Amino acid sequence: MKKMEGRAIICILLALVLVAGMGLFTYRLVVDGDSWASFYANEHVYNEGQLAIGSVYDRNDLLLLENTQEGPIYNDDWGVRNSTLHVVGDPGQNIATAATYAFRSDILGYNLVTGTHGSIFGKGRELQLTIDARVSETAFEALGNRNGFVGVYNWRTGDIICMVSNPGYDP
């Protein structure tokens, strides 16, 4: 009888450990789920380590970047591409302060029930920035061959209107 009682206690302890583990996992899923889903190895939303869903627009709804399974597609205008590169991001995600890197969780659109928005609908979310691509292009052209930075922001709202850095490159 003592043997069965000992085994029953062990089974109860194992069940409690299982319930505690499930509780910890559920807590971590709620708290850290978005970072798990935005991990670069998630093949539903990344292609060879590059974000494969979502779009980035400027304040006037001008498309700056569209992420696809084939790779990122930047704006057709050479001036817009070069002037917004440091804000939008490069294909290799080497610019750690770029929108596609810093806001990738927002672009993916994590939901606790469905996971990432992109894994179900295949599109991702649209991210709208406060920069104005035409103002950035004008600032980039004004820099010419000089190295430097031009930053313009609205001090009342805190919106960054222009953030251009030179030298740059055509992504």
Per-residue pLDDT of the chain (171 residues; tens, 9 = 90+): 677 788 889 999 999 999 999 999 989 888 877 777 666 656 666 666 677 678 889 989 899 988 887 888 888 888 888 888 888 888 777 777 788 877 777 777 676 776 665 544 545 678 888 999 999 999 998 988 889 899 999 999 999 999 998 887 777
Q: Rounded to whole angstroms, how far apart are CA atoms 72 and 55?
A: 9
What secondary structure letter does DSSP report for 167? S
Q: Rounded to whole angstroms, how far apart are CA atoms 3 and 19?
A: 24
Choose among 60, 84, 66, 90: nearest CA to 139.
84
Q: Rounded to whole angstroms, how far apart are CA atoms 118 and 158?
A: 30
The neighbour count for residue 133, using CB atoms within 10 Å, is 25
- Spacing of C-alpha 133 from chain mean position: 20
Q: Rounded to whole angstroms, how far apart are CA atoms 91 and 81?
A: 12
pTM score of the predicted model: 0.69
CB 91 within 8 A of CB 50: yes
Element (H, E) at 150: strand 148-153
CB 99 within 8 A of CB 86: no
Query: What are the distances in angstroms from CA 70 to CA 9, 48, 50, 61?
Result: 57, 10, 10, 23
